[in-house]
Chains A and B, each alone.
Chain A
Amino acid sequence: MTEVTTTARPTFDAVSVGDELPPHAYPLGRWELVRYAGASGDLNSIHWSDRLARKAGLPDVIAHGMLTMGTAIKIVTQWCGDPGAVLEYTTRFTRPVVVPDDDAGATLDVRATVVSKDEQDRTVTVEMTVSCGDEKVLGRTRAVVRLP
């Protein structure tokens, strides 16, 4: 793990609307789903049992929406250097992330762009795009971040 230094943190004045944050990609395999189930206490069986996922009408096991949402925000927290600076975070769950029981699993691709600045609060709004393969899996994903 690399040390996160506060000197690299973007300041409000240095950030412009249209700035793109460095993109991120994350593996989501069955192992990650089981780990999130344990850490969050969300033990819904559609996130770990092929049989019960299919019984619920799904093609296979799917990732917890909150695992996808919780992982995606790292693009913002790593950029701003302070996870406590995220004041608001919102998303729609538009498509399930299907996670097959194989070595590859699924991959989440996250991109983010600064879409507005609030001079009075010294906050910026970041719009995020979260996809798996060619499909967007989250919609209207936005975070409001306070910058120094």
Chain B
Amino acid sequence: MPVDPAVIGRVYPPSPPYEVGLETIKEFAEAVHAEDPAHRDRDAARALGYPDVIAPPTFAVIAAQRSEMQFFNDPDVHIDFTQIVHGEEDFVHHRPIFARDRLIATLFVDSVRHAGGHAIVTTRVELASEEGEPVSTVISTMVERGGAG
């Protein structure tokens, strides 16, 4: 079933805070071969000028993907999740993510289009601190194969 273009521009309510765990950063860093001590050792991160251990550049995807589920679970969105492939991913970091950050995610539907028999959806997640400081912008493009109806 096609995605209703009426969802374009939709903004979902901000998520509850995602608290960034030190051990979660370490485990993610191991999983992406990120060996830098700044992902594990506070002193190494401080030597680079950061207040705490920093997350690898793609760590923001964890909080972003949780937020994106609001779109896929939206009753106005009829997407066959088994036919989804990841098209593109973009990160813009306003500052690094630190251990113990409490991130609020706000999800925007930037575009929905149909091409080549597929539905192509671009969402944007703005991650910010609880005080409203911008942290990361995560833009994801998902392709639903055969989703043009």
Contact = CB atoms under 8 A, between A and B. Distances in A.
Contact of A66 (B61, B82, B95): B61
A118 B13 CA distance: 37
Interface stretch (A37-45, A98-106, A127-135): A37-45
Interface in A62-81: 65-67, 69-71, 73-74, 77-78
Contacts of A93: 85-89
A50 to B, nearest CB: 15
Nearest to B48: A82
Interface string B18-36: 0000001001101111111
Interface string A20-62: 0000001000001001101111100000000000011100000
A4 B28 contact: no
B57 A36 contact: no
A82 B56 CA distance: 10
A84 B58 contact: no
B124 to A, nearest CB: 13
B38 A84 contact: yes
B17 interface: no
A71 B57 contact: no
A84 B10 CA distance: 31
Given A40-B61, A83-B38, A89-B57, A67 B31 contact: yes
Contacts of A14: none
Given A66-B89, A73-B58, A93-B86, A84 B50 contact: yes
Contacts of B93: 84, 86-88
A13 interface: no
A43 to B, nearest CB: 11
A40 B57 contact: no
Contact of A74 (B30, B33, B89, B90): B33
B32 A92 contact: no
B48 A88 contact: no
A119 to B, nearest CB: 21
B30 A35 contact: yes
Nearest to A36: B31
B89 A77 contact: no
A8 interface: no
Contacts of A36: 31-32
Given A56-B82, A82-B48, 11 more contacts: A70-B28, A70-B34, A73-B32, A73-B57, A74-B33, A83-B34, A84-B50, A84-B93, A88-B91, A92-B88, A93-B88
A-B residue pairs, 8 tightest by C-beta: A70-B32, A84-B96, A39-B31, A70-B58, A65-B86, A86-B57, A90-B90, A36-B31
6 contacts: A39-B27, A40-B65, A73-B56, A74-B32, A74-B33, A83-B34
